Every structure is written in C-alpha cells, then in structure tokens.
Structure 1
Amino acid sequence: MKELSKNDSEENISEEMDKEENTNVKELNSEFVGETNNNGDNSGDIDKDNSGKNSDRGRQEDDPLFHIKSGLSQLERTLSGEGYAFCNLICKDKNLGVIPKEMEKYVHLKYVNMSHNKITDIENLYKLNNIIFLDLSYNLIKKLGNLKSIYLKNCLYMNMSYNLIKIVEDIKLKNIMEIDLSNNEIDNLNIYCSNTVKKLILSNNNIKNIHFKNILTNLEFLDISSNPVENLQFYEIAPNINTLKINNNCTLPINQLCYLNNFKNLESLDMENYLYFKDISYKEVKQILLQNSKDLNLIKFNGNRILSKTTKS
C-alpha cells in the first residue's frame, strides 16, 4: 500500500472539510428556501392565526372570571402579613350574567363594584367577609335572600338599587350601616333588619306597609318617597329617625300625619308633592306637628322649600 505523504494527508483533510461545509451550507440554504416558500404565500396562515386570536378573545370576554381578574386592583398586605393581595374589584358594564363560584377565593376584597351588569344571584359573594363597600346596582336581581349574620361580616355599605327585587328577606349583616334598595319592585316589607343600620333608602318601590320585626334604635335616615305608603305607624320600631322622606306620595291619609309626632328626634321632613297638601295650608300642617319634642325643619312642603322651623311653645 502506498504511504500518504504529509502534504497528501493535509490535502485530503482539507477536501473533507470543504465537502462537509458545502453540505451544511446546502442544508441551510434548503431550510431557508423552504421557509421562504412557506412565507411566500402565508396569508391563509395569518388569517387562521387572527381567527384563532379573535376566537380566544371572544371566549375570554364571555368568561366572567376573565373580567373579574381584569378588574382587580390595589395591592395591600394580607391580614396574616405573609404577602399581598388585591383588595379592590371594579367590574362594571361587562355584561356579566353570573358571579362565578371562584369569587369565593378572593377573600381579601374590600371594595366591590359590579354594577351595570346582568347579574341575577349574589350568593357567591356571601362568604367574602372583608368586603366593606358593595355596589350591585343596575343588575337583574329579583330577590334579596336571607342575609345571615355569618355573611359579609364587615360590609358597611350595600347598594342594590335599580334591580328587579320584589322579595326582601331578613337582613342580619353584623355591621351594615347603609342599605340602598331604591328603584326596585318591592311591594311588602316585613323583615328583620340589623340594628346597626343608620340609613335605609327604599324610594321608588311599590311599598304600602312597612313592618320591621325588631327595633331599629340606630336608624336615623329613612327614605320611603315615591311609594304608595298607607301608614306611618312604625315610630316605636324606629324611634330615633331624624330625617324622613315621604314626598311624592298620593296614598298616605292625612290622619296619618299625627304619627309624625311620635318621632321624637325628627329634624328634617320632606313632604314635597304630598297629594293631600293641595287642600291644606302650611299653618295647619304646623299645628299637626307642634307636639314634636324637637324643632322640626320642614324642608319641603307642597313643592316649595321651606326653611322655617316649627317650635314647641
């Protein structure tokens, strides 16, 4: 066998390296050409991608949890001090029909605004005991179920106005101070209501009679305007009311006005557009209310604002 010289060996190695390099270049060129050819007419793939993205976006917008996660804000340290959690949720006008069960996991929420949606049931919020402010106005809620004392333990303010609520059951929330149930379809009110309530707004419903199962010593503000109320005989149950709105009423008999004398802390009374006042003078109304133990500022009477006060002689 012929021995290879050093020069022959180096030339062979060089040739092998050139062949390998050319092969690699060809492979790379082939891949590049393939990619170029694929990209040369990829409009269909782009359309598919866009279609897929739009489909995913549509699914997200239909997912209540997606909107809830998007509405979270305001990081605060957790009660345990071991981390941080979102405490605010603003999820308005998102076309939500339900409050998902997963909401129960957001135990650190304090401020919740889910108004202007299509929500019909709120039970999945009941266990969120750190909520302080709750706004569910402008939804499609038909019933306010029994709010037990173990629910929403720290809730101070609840706005349920502009819904379709017809039935209201007992409200036993431990710390609730203000409830707005205005502009609903409530026709009867016979409930237990937490004695912590200071302000109760029931205007623009169909309420004829008001009955509470317990004494509300802390209730100071009561708005029952624009209701077909037929009696005011709840003074023993709510003795400390200082502001009472009974304006825009056409069903309350004038002989019921004498019961206003039993609200011993009454300071502001709104009787604007009270039907029976068309045939009665301010002086006569003043005489009816003279027995009241405190000065009474009759703020509105028969469509006119009156700043004078009745005083007990």
Structure 2
Amino acid sequence: MALTAETVKAGLSQVERTLDGTGLAYTKLDVSGKEVASLEADVLSPYAHLRYLMASGNSLEDASALAALPSLLSADLHANKIAAVPDLGALAYFQALDLSENEVASLEGLNLPKLTYLNVASNKLESLAGADKLAAVQRLDVSKNALKSFEGLGAVPTLSELVASGNAIESLAGLEGATGVTSIVADGNALVSLDGLAAEALGKLVSLSLAGNQIADVAEVAKLAALPALKSLTLADNEVAGGDEYRQEVLVVLPRLQVLDGERVTVEERREANRVAAERAEEAAAAAAAAA
C-alpha cells in the first residue's frame, strides 16, 4: 500500500525545536514493517521538520519522495526493494542513509554531497564506480555484494571506515584514492595477494581485517610493512594463520603491530620477534659478506 496520512501520524514521535529555532515539531517518523509499497511526497511534505526516518522492512522500490523533507538528517530504508540510490542532493542536512538488503546494482549517478554514512550491504553491486561522488562520506559499508575488487572507488579523501566483507574481492587494487582511510574490513573474500597497499595511498591505515581469505604465506603479510600507521591486523581463518610460529613470524615482518587477531601483542612476543629478526639480519649480512 502507499504511505497514508494515518500511517504517518501513528509513526510520529520525538518533539524537538525546529532547525530555524522558531517552534517545536515532530522530528522522527517510524513506519517500519507497515507493508508500505511507496512513499508519497504529498503525504510527507506537511512534516517538513522531520529529521529521522525509519522505513525498513517494507516493499519500497523508490525513495525519491524523501526529497520532500528538507530537514532530513538520516533515513533507514534497509530490507526493501529499492533498485537505485535516490537523488537527495537538494537536502542540505542529509548525512546518513541505510540501504542495506535492497536491490541496488549501481552507485553511478550519486548525488548525495553531504552524506557521511552510506550502508549498501547485501545488495547487487558488482562495481564501486560512482562512489567518488560521495564528497563527504566517512563510513561506507559495501559488504555482501558481488564485488571482485575496489576498482571504481575513485578519490574519496574523506573516507575513514570501509567495510567490504563477504564479497569476492581478489585484489586490493583501487584503494589509491582512499587517502584518509583508517580502518578496512574485508573479511570473507578471495584475497591471495596483498599487492596494492601503497604507503602513499594508505598512509593513515591503522586497522586492517582480512579474516577468512586465502592468504597463505608470510611473504604476502610482509608487504604490509609499507603501511606506516598499521597497528591492528586480523588474519584469522587464512592458511597463513595455521603455520608454525605464526604470531612470531608476523611480528618479525611487522614489528610495529600492536594487535594481531584481536589479541594485544605481549612484551615477550615482541622481544622474541625482535631477537629472531636480529639473528636473521646478522645471518643475511654474513652471507652477503661471504659472497662478496
């Protein structure tokens, strides 16, 4: 059914002062799970001071009517049937959009210049092309789609947190434009190699979670040494994590690491890793001298 005035009135709550400070108004509307098939602009427009909209668990196919809410800050539209990200560029305050569990197949044509949080998990994305139009995005969740790489992400210097678990990502290429990212979660993908993590692109990356991939060798892990800010790494459920002296070997190649697989590195672990690294350096130097 279409959204009705009666359904809206029943879902209103949270009276606050209006953004212009001239009065009081309802700022929250919850019509989740009401079997709503369409949002009607003429039904929403009388509530121009709404800031928070919850409409999850319906059968919405389009959300463009939200443009009738000039004070809107956030919208939760997860678990609907929406196939395209709505054009809400005219909304001056709109910052957060949850479109998880919908049918979005493309991010092309995005017009959400003020958005800081976008959740498009569990959709039908095969590419991140168009994401570079998210000029203010700080948190982006693209987990459980059909992505094979980060190609198309483009320049997103404001991005701080990227979640891309449960895809089919085979390469970390495409992250070059995420120069401000501090956290990446890419669990449950198909990564074999860790090529593509350049320090000049990911110099601020502090936390990297790659659990449940196909990384088999510490030599791949050693490539992460190029990331100067990396402090936390998760490699659980990769082949490499089952090797002998796994934690020690990772700490040998990543001596700045503070947390591995959710466990803080102990003083004893760091001391032993430093000792092993020093021994190997001496052996390598001796071998080089003997060969000279």
TM bucket (normalised to shorter chain) is 0.7 to 0.9
Q: Distance in 1 between matches of 2:263 and 2:21?
A: 53
CA RMSD of aligned residues (A): 2.6
Q: Does 1:217 align with 2:152?
A: no
**Any idea what the Cα deviations from partners look like across 1:66-93, whole Å, max 9, x if unmatched?**
2112111222333455543211101111
Q: Does 1:307 align with 2:247?
A: no
Q: Offset at 1:214?
A: 5.0
1:222-237 → structure 2 map (5 Å cutoff): 222-237=162-177
Q: Distance in 2 between matches of 1:70 and 1:134?
A: 18
Contact (CA 8 Å) 2:154, 2:176: kept in 1 or not? no
Q: Of the two, which has the highest radius of gyration?
A: 1
Residue among 136, 153, 156 paired with 1:196: 136
Alignment match, 2:67: 126
Residue among 143, 146, 160 paired with 2:99: 160
Unaligned runs of 5+ residues in structure 1 are 1-60
Q: Does 1:86 align with 2:26?
A: yes
Alignment match, 1:109: 50
- In 2 relative to 1, CA 235–210 (structure 1 residues): closer, same or farther, beyond 3 Å? closer
**Any idea what the Cα deviations from partners look like across 1:132-185, whole Å, max 9, x if unmatched?**
12100111112224x3532x3211211111112223233332321111100111
Amino acid at match of 2:195: C
Alignment match, 2:229: 294
Residue among 197, 200, 206 paired with 2:146: 206
- In 2 relative to 1, CA 162–213 (structure 1 residues): closer, same or farther, beyond 3 Å? closer
- In 2 relative to 1, CA 295–79 (structure 1 residues): closer, same or farther, beyond 3 Å? closer
Identity of aligned residues (%): 23
Q: Distance in 1 between matches of 2:153 and 2:127?
A: 13
Q: Distance in 1 between matches of 2:101 and 2:3?
A: 24
**Any idea what the Cα deviations from partners look like across 1:258-285, whole Å, max 9, x if unmatched?**
21243111111111110x22x32xx434
Q: TM-score, normalised by structure 2?
A: 0.75
How many corresponding residue pairs? 244
Contact (CA 8 Å) 1:240, 1:265: kept in 2 or not? yes
Q: Offset at 1:236?
A: 2.4
Amino acid at match of 1:97: A
Q: Does 1:139 align with 2:80?
A: yes
Q: Does 1:77 align with 2:17?
A: yes
Q: Does 1:259 align with 2:196?
A: yes
Contact (CA 8 Å) 1:298, 1:307: kept in 2 or not? no
State the secondary structure of the residue aligned to 1:222. Answer: strand
Q: Distance in 1 between matches of 2:39 and 2:84?
A: 15
Contact (CA 8 Å) 1:222, 1:241: kept in 2 or not? yes
Amino acid at match of 1:240: G
Q: Offset at 1:129?
A: 2.4
Alignment match, 1:29: none
Q: TM-score, normalised by structure 1?
A: 0.70
- In 2 relative to 1, CA 105–169 (structure 1 residues): closer, same or farther, beyond 3 Å? farther
Unaligned runs of 5+ residues in structure 2 are 242-260, 278-292
- In 2 relative to 1, CA 127–215 (structure 1 residues): closer, same or farther, beyond 3 Å? farther
State the secondary structure of the residue aligned to 2:170. Answer: coil
Contact (CA 8 Å) 2:66, 2:88: kept in 1 or not? no
Q: Distance in 1 between matches of 2:3 and 2:115?
A: 31
Amino acid at match of 2:129: N
**Any idea what the Cα deviations from partners look like across 1:109-140, whole Å, max 9, x if unmatched?**
01111111111110110232211121001111
Moved over 6 A (4+): none
State the secondary structure of the residue aligned to 2:5. Answer: helix
Contact (CA 8 Å) 2:3, 2:40: kept in 1 or not? no
Amino acid at match of 1:264: G
Q: Distance in 1 between matches of 2:2 and 2:229?
A: 57
